[in-house]
Amino acid sequence: MFIGTYEHTIDEKSRLTLPRRFRDALGAGVVLTRGLDRNVAVYPRETWKVSVEDRISALDPLSREARDLRTFFFSGAAEADLDTQGRVLVPAVLTRHAGLEREVVVAGNYDHLQLWSPEAWERHLHAVEGSAEHAAERLAAHGS
DSSP labels for 89-134?
A: E--HHHHHHHT--SEEEEEEEBTEEEEE-HHHHHHHHHHHHHHHHH
Four-way CATH pick for 5-117: 3.40.50.300, 3.20.10.10, 3.40.1550.20, 3.90.1150.10: 3.40.1550.20
| Amino acid 86: pLDDT | 96
Domain definitions of the chain by residue range = 5-117
| Amino acid 29: pLDDT | 97
* pLDDT by 10s per residue, the chain, length 144: 999 999 999 999 999 999 999 999 999 999 999 999 999 999 999 999 999 999 999 999 999 999 999 999 999 999 999 999 999 999 999 999 999 999 999 999 999 999 999 999 999 999 988 788 888 888 898 875
CA dihedral sign, ordered 89, 93, 99, 101: positive
Cα–Cα nearest to 77, from 55, 97, 62, 59: 97
